[in-house]
């Protein structure tokens, strides 16, 4: 079995940032080389034109020189503006994140209500992985036209991520193999690879666009010259320029492939190892890789956009023979399999696509029902109903859970999904219903107060929406506390499809529902913050503003005071002890910061604190989460409120926290 990389989530994020820096350096080097090549090409074309006009009387020493600084600066400016402009244009096209990439490659969105058994199985696997990893539910796509076995994940952040698989993947892989592939893709999401991949696609497009212009020059000018013999001589220089640009464009393509290979290959080994770690089933991902090797369609994609996105895929998506060893974005299948399964002999068995899917939707429903019942029989659980507590894990382990998944997390997430009634899950599939489901979670349990809230929404949304809201409230009001926030993440893909003008009204409605009773509960804050982050942070990676802790001490004091108070609302002494346990983890606070029992920040205040903490470096974020965990677990017990706040704090810092696993005591 392959061993997972020794780096943790925070080191992976720092490494991704460093790789982005190296990518920028490589990009500038490539641009500089292209500028030089185009400048000398321009000078050559100019010399050709002068020679053509002066014929044999042309004196190159008198009329032409190779080095002209003014001309070079002009070429450098024009080429730079073109390349950067084309790159910015491409990045703008991809502003919606993962869904934009999936749509560009021909993906079709899949929802929980799909009737296709394979698509339903895919959606279930992604749901399980999302809950197990603490990542919001990505949008799910299927590339119907692709027969090869392949998949990819894309997105600027975890809030706009998408996961896509080919039709060949659905009809060929078993559930375990599909789970291995999805675990591999979630590793890319957790490690920041998807953000780097989209930036890489946008950056390289500017270089590739030069070759496109060269081909256009040759095609248009050549056709025009055939129509007019008089323009033949004048067109010669333009055709030569077009050919030169085509050659430079191919050089750009070559350089682009080298950059993608340099950035991508080692990450594939890491993602494979992570998939084994996540699932504890090496046969899953190794089985998928073996099937690719023996499958008649392989992993290749037919879409002409495959080259642009070649570094996204689970396996090689394009066919390349020349320089394949140095330009391949993925390591050889044999090497990847051998690292997971040392007994692999290098031979691939022939694989034919089955006529029917391996598991039916009925079997899936039976499985989830079984796991839900199994959950009820677990005697000890980390997160229990509101007001109840139990023995908690060691707080030092919480920070190591960030960005990881285990087989236990996957099993537990399947059990949690089983606790959500099918009619509730159906409520979050479309934007209007997803919005109503969020409203339903916020409606007051007091009948009189709830009537006022519904009346307010009726005035804003209309009678039809209000009627739908009442029906949805009846479905969500008795939800297990453990699945309330996961339901918010399940609703995120549909909420992202809300029109811009409706998104503003939706957020205002949420805020007004929360403050309608003049009391903001911690759950209401957590829900508000998660929804806002999932909708507003799409395509906007957090800028790092703080590399040292002193400017953040006040924000951290407020956060730890709130955590300490929520865990010990009736015992100020224990609350102070919890605060000190957290503060002791940060040298700048240890022995200097004091618990404030009056620290009860409102929505805006706590939002501001979290946003400042979110702009810290990942090294500081590790300290923040570690301190919060020690504060929350100081009394060795945890409530739902504490668990939800820890989840929101981690989400605010873009550090996905898996659910706390039930702790089963030995008999």
Close Cβ partners of 80 (under 8 Å, ≥ 6 residues apart): 31, 35
Instruction: Determine the length of the chain.
Output: 667
Strand ranges (DSSP E) for 28-133? Answer: 108-110
DSSP one-letter code for 55: G
Strand partners, 109: 141
DSSP state, 652?
Answer: H
Element (H, E) at 163: strand 162-166
Q: How would you classify the pairing of strands 162-166 and 139-143?
A: parallel
User: 77: helix, coil or strand?
Assistant: helix
185 is catalytic: yes
Pick from 459, 489, 491, 454: nearest CA to 474? 454
Cβ-contact 403, 8 below 8 angstroms: yes
Element (H, E) at 81: helix 69-93
**Helix axis angle, 117-133 relative to 484-495, nearest 10°?**
120
Question: How far apart, in whole angstroms, are the C-alpha atoms of residue 277 and residue 534?
Answer: 27
- Helices 232-279 and 175-190, packing angle to 10 deg: 110
Quote the CA–CA distance of 203 and 57 in Å, as a whole number: 46
Looking only at Cα atoms, what is the longest distance across the chain? Answer: 102
Are the C-beta atoms of residues 121 and 248 closer than 8 Å to each other? no
**Residue 143: burial class (beta carbons within 10 Å; 0-12, 13-18, 19+):** buried
Do the Cβ atoms of 278 and 408 come closer than 8 Å?
no
Cα(91)–Cα(539) distance, integer angstroms? 10
Alpha helices in 584-639 (DSSP H): 603-614, 618-632
DSSP-derived pairing of the beta strands 139-143 and 151-154: unpaired
DSSP label at residue 391: B
Alpha-carbon distance 271 to 4, whole Å?
A: 9
Nearest alpha-carbon partner for 473 in 444, 497, 493: 444
Q: What is the C-alpha to C-alpha distance for residues 423 and 418, in angstroms, rounded to an integer?
A: 12
CA distances from 521 to 438, 448, 476, 491, 645 (A): 15, 18, 18, 21, 11
Q: Which of 119, 128, 185, 524 is catalytic?
A: 185
Dihedral angle sign, alpha carbons of residues 145, 146, 150, 153: negative
Instruction: Give the residue from 242, 232, 259 showing the smallest Cα distance to 328.
Output: 259
Q: How many CB atoms within 10 Å of residue 429?
A: 17
As a whole number of angstroms, the distance between CA 333 and CA 292 comes to 8
Q: For residue 441, give Cα distances in angstroms to 450, 470, 523.
A: 11, 11, 10
Phi-psi region of 14 (alpha: psi -120 to 50; beta: other; left: phi over 0): alpha
* Residues that are catalytic: 185
């Amino acid at each position: 079995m392959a061993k997972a990389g020794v780096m943790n989530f925070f080191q992976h994020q720092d490494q991704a940032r460093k790789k982005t820096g190296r990518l920028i350096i490589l990009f500038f080097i490539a641009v500089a080389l292209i500028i030089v090549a185009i400048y000398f090409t321009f000078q050559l074309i100019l010399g050709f034109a002068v020679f053509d006009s002066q014929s044999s009387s042309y004196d190159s020493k008198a009329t032409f020189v190779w080095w002209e600084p003014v001309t070079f600066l002009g070429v450098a400016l024009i080429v730079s503006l073109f390349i950067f402009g084309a790159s910015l244009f491409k990045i703008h096209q991809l502003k919606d994140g993962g869904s934009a990439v999936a749509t560009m490659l021909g993906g079709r969105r899949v929802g929980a209500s799909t009737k296709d058994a394979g698509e339903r199985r895919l959606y279930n696997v992604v749901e399980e992985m999302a809950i197990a990893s603490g990542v919001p539910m990505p949008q799910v796509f299927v590339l119907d036209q692709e027969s090869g076995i392949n998949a990819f994940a894309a997105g600027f952040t975890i809030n706009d991520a998408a996961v896509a698989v080919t039709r060949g993947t659905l009809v060929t892989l078993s559930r375990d193999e599909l789970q291995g592939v999805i675990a591999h893709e979630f590793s890319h999401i957790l490690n920041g690879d998807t953000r780097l991949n989209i930036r890489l696609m946008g950056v390289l497009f500017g270089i590739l666009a030069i070759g496109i212009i060269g081909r256009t020059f040759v095609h248009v000018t050549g056709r025009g010259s055939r129509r007019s013999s008089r323009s033949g001589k004048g067109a010669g220089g333009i055709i030569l320029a077009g050919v030169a640009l085509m050659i430079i464009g191919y050089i750009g393509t070559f350089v682009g492939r080298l950059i993608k290979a340099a950035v991508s290959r080692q990450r594939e080994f890491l993602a494979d190892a992570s998939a084994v770690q996540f699932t504890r089933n090496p046969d899953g991902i190794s089985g998928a890789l073996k099937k690719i090797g023996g499958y008649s369609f392989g992993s290749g994609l037919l879409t002409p956009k495959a080259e642009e996105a070649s570094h996204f895929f689970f396996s090689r998506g394009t066919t390349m023979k020349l320089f394949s060893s140095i330009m391949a974005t993925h390591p050889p299948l044999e090497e990847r399999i051998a690292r997971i399964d040392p007994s692999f002999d290098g031979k691939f068995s022939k694989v034919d696509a089955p006529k029917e899917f391996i598991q039916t939707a009925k079997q899936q429903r039976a499985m989830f029902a079984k796991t839900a019942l199994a959950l009820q029989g677990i005697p000890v659980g980390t997160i229990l109903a509101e007001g109840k507590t139990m023995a908690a894990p060691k707080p030092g382990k919480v920070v190591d859970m960030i960005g990881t998944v285990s087989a236990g997390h996957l099993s537990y997430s399947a059990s949690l999904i089983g606790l959500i009634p099918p009619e509730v899950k159906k409520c979050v599939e479309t934007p209007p219903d997803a919005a109503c489901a969020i409203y339903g979670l916020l409606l007051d349990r007091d009948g009189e107060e709830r009537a006022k809230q519904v009346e307010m929404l009726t005035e804003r949304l209309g009678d039809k929406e209000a009627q739908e809201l009442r029906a949805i409230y009846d479905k969500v009001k008795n939800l297990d506390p453990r699945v309330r926030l996961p339901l918010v993440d399940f609703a995120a893909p549909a909420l992202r499809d809300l029109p811009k003008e409706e998104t503003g009204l939706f957020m205002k409605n949420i805020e007004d529902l929360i403050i309608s009773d003049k009391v903001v509960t911690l759950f209401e804050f957590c829900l508000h913050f998660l929804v806002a982050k999932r909708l507003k942070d799409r395509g906007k990676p957090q800028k790092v503003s703080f590399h040292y802790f002193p400017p953040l001490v006040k924000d951290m004091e407020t956060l730890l005071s709130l955590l300490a108070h929520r865990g010990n609302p009736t015992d100020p002494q224990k609350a102070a002890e919890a605060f000190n346990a957290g503060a002791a983890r940060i040298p700048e606070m240890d022995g200097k910061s004091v618990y404030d029992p009056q620290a009860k920040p409102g929505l805006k205040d706590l939002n501001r604190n979290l946003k400042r903490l979110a702009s810290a470096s990942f090294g500081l974020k590790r300290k923040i989460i570690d301190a919060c965990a020690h504060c929350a677990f100081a009394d060795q017990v945890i409530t739902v409120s504490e668990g939800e706040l820890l989840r929101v704090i981690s989400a605010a810092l873009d550090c996905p926290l898996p659910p706390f696993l039930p702790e089963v005591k030995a008999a």
